[in-house]
Homo-oligomer: A and B are copies of this chain.
């Protein structure tokens, strides 16, 4: 029988912890705060149906044919215009050239492409503490050494950043998610952004800025992207998964012109191009200012669900020594349990109470804080949130 010999990098790949957890939580009747699934109520199904019909009737042959690896021109233009508009409104103008925009098969693919062109085996990659699990999974096959930079409520801590850069021989980049971070829900403060960008420039440290949640603010938009402040030193990743729908797998990146050709070559080798049909359908949906009418409805829904979750946490867990943050947007919030508690061990007990979460330890490149957990407030309804948090509180208090 043929023996397959695996590449070294394959030995480092592991099943997604979250994926395995989600399997456990698939039992009927469970209220899950575990997954990061946008509320399907927000999907503009009728608009997609109209756009599919229009595209197939008007330009079916082109929409179903092979297409350029860079992406559909009208969609690249929309991304450039939208980022320029948002950055200008946030006070830091950013002149995005559509030629810098690469359409990707979800923003996850952007992480894969960045990893391929920037990480050698043994390269140091800096990440936040904690950080997005999907980024760790995308980077890991290229065999980096991760260095976790300490973070506080305002974001990356600059003293530790300097120490970690000094301790590495040529860190390739730092990966940051400045707005409503996955997993914590926290955002980088305006002052910290300014200082972080300045420090990165001074340290000659490239930045990979991931912004899937930036549009999901509750009361006011986040500050301008880091990329707007450091255009040549930042690759910016964005997504349509949270503002339209994830099932189309449409994301994008904006790269400095010096880096773009290599990302494009990696993209071409990875899947030739992102589905042209999906790109044209989304460009059709987005024209005429659709996003400005649609996203406010998502914001209002998620804000109401976040408030319901915070109210329920206040009601059931105040004074227990368990603490949590109050996100100003996004999809997640973060609980800190007393130091002796291990969220991995608590999960089966919660599942017995018909409620699920993700243990925080999944989100650390090293030295996991086992007494943390992530709650999503977007998938469950307000009524489910009330019931689910009451159940979660019961199981946590039983363990206290």
Q: Is the CB of B60 within 8 A of A45?
A: yes
In the complex, A355→B223 CA distance in Å?
53
Q: Does A312 count as interface, using CB distance less than 8 angstroms? A: no
- State whether the Cβ of A195 lies closer than 8 Å to any Cβ in chain B: no
A247 partner residues in chain B, CB cutoff 8 A: 62-67, 275-277
A397 touches B (CB below 8 Å): no
Segment 324-377 of A: residues with Cβ below 8 Å from B: none
B249 close to A141 (CB less than 8 A): no
Residues in B neighbouring A60, C-beta threshold 8 A: 43, 45, 48-49
Shortest distance from the beta carbon of A72 to any chain B beta carbon, whole Å: 10
A287, CB-defined interface residue at 8 Å: no
Contact call B232/A1, Cβ cutoff below 8 A = yes
Tell whether A53 is near chain B: CB-to-CB under 8 Å. Answer: yes
CA distance A118 to B7 in the complex (A): 5
List the B side residues contacting A119 at CB < 8 Å. 7
Given the interface pairs A37-B66, A249-B275, the reply to whether A117 lies near B49 with Cβ below 8 Å is no
Give residues of chain A (32-84) contacting chain B, Cβ–Cβ below 8 Å: 35-38, 40-41, 43, 45, 48-49, 52-53, 56-57, 60-67, 69
Smallest Cβ-Cβ distance to A116: which chain B residue: B141
Which of A145-153, A255-263, A384-392 contacts its partner? A255-263
Whether A118 lies near B56 (C-beta < 8 A) is no
Flag whether A87 is at the interface (Cβ < 8 A). no
| A270:B112 contact, CB within 8 angstroms | yes
Q: How far is the CA of A232 from the CA of B1 in the complex (A)?
A: 7
Chain B residues within 8 Å of A172, by CB: 5, 7
**A239-273 to B contact mask, C-beta < 8 Å, 1/0:** 00100011111000000101101100110111111
Q: Are B116 and A10 in contact (CB under 8 A)?
A: yes
Give the contact-size bracket for chain A. Answer: 35 or more
For A118, list chain B residues within 8 Å (CB). 4-7, 10
Residues of B within 8 A of A225 (CB): none
- Of all chain B residues, which has the CB nearest A123? B7
- Contact B52 A56, beta carbon cutoff 8 Å: yes
Partner pick for A137 among B6, B57, B64, B268, CB 8 A cutoff: B268
B49 touching A61, Cβ below 8 Å? no
By the criterion CB–CB under 8 Å, are A201 and B2 in contact?
yes
Q: Are A272 and B13 in contact (CB under 8 A)?
A: no
A106 CB-CB contact with B under 8 Å: yes
A182 at the A/B interface (Cβ < 8 Å)? no
Q: Does A205 contact B (CB under 8 A)?
A: yes
Q: Select one of B40, B65, B137 contacting A269, CB under 8 A.
A: B137
Is A206 part of the binding interface, using a Cβ–Cβ cutoff of 8 Å?
Answer: yes
30 contacts between A and B (CB under 8 A): A1-B232, A1-B233, A2-B201, A2-B232, A2-B233, A3-B204, A5-B172, A9-B116, A9-B117, A10-B117, A10-B266, A13-B262, A16-B268, A40-B62, A41-B61, A45-B60, A52-B56, A63-B247, A64-B247, A65-B247, A66-B246, A108-B269, A108-B270, A116-B141, A121-B121, A134-B269, A134-B272, A248-B277, A249-B271, A249-B274
Residues of A at the B interface (CB closer than 8 Å) are 1-10, 13-16, 19, 35-38, 40-41, 43, 45, 48-49, 52-53, 56-57, 60-67, 69, 105-106, 108-109, 112, 116-121, 123, 134, 137-138, 140-142, 170, 172, 200-201, 204-206, 230, 232-233, 241, 245-249, 256, 258-259, 261-262, 265-266, 268-278
